[in-house]
Structure 1
Amino acid sequence: MKIVFVGAIWCNSCLVAKPIVNKIIQEYSDIIYEEYDFDTHKDIVEKYNLDDALPAIIFESTNGQVLKKHIGEISEKQLKNNLKELFNID
């Protein structure tokens, strides 16, 4: 299970979402978490087919399959619901 966060320093929604994601990820030690800057990691932007709609939160299975791509701000409740739905964890 992996979550990939792609944001940018110029993105206000990223500044709101990033601490929420970081807080929730701390609660789940079995989830791999990766964080990338949109402007400096173009390989990641291309890999996940992202445009400049940010932040992007990508949920992947253990075999690397993208299960869901969330674009935009996210609440703690939404993030936890995604974790429960996609990874079957509370």
Structure 2
Amino acid sequence: MHQRFHLASLATATLLMSSLVAWAGQPFDAEAFRSAQAANKAILVDVTASWCPTCRRQRPIVEKIEKEKPDLVVYEVDFDKAKDVLKRFRVQYQSTLIVFRGIKEVARSTGETDPALIHALIEKAF
């Protein structure tokens, strides 16, 4: 009985974690980014930091848009750890959202927390 409960708890935790990960974007990967660009995908580069209150306000908005737009590819960039990526995209501040359609940057915003404005920003890739 104890083992069955443990397995059920483990399965529930795994399912919960996978649902959290599914909507958190994926860590930035240069090769995957180039592939998404080559496929002319709508791409959002989300520069975030765990300590950033603005980023925490942006997160549920971005997650909702990800659910609504399954064709949107979202890459999360850790502001504190990915200095090479920040340099590549000329980013100076966390809470920066950069939108691409294929190889072309179509929009950029820093510090925006209005859901309608974030949605409009991302719509520029479609």
Q: Confirm or deny a common fold (TM above 0.5).
A: yes
1:81 aligns with 2:126: no
Q: CA deviation at 1:12?
A: 1.1
TM-score, normalised on structure 1? 0.83
Shift of 1:87: 2.7
**Once the two structures are superposed, what CA deviation does each residue of 1:42-88 show, in whole Å capped at 9, x if it has no partner?**
1211111111x2200000111x221111100322211222233x134
Given candidates 51, 58, 76, the residue that maps to 2:98 is 58
Segments of 4+ moved more than 2 angstroms: none
Unaligned runs of 5+ in 1: none
The share of aligned pairs that are identical, in percent, is 26
- TM-score, normalising length: structure 2: 0.62
Task: Give the aligned length.
Answer: 85
Match runs of 1:6-45 below 5 Å: 6-45=47-86
- Who is 1:47 aligned against? 88
Say whether the 8 Å CA contact 1:57–1:71 is kept in structure 2: yes
What secondary structure is seen at the aligned counterpart in 1 of 2:77? strand
Two-structure CA RMSD over aligned residues (Å): 1.4
Return the letter of the residue paired with 2:86.
V
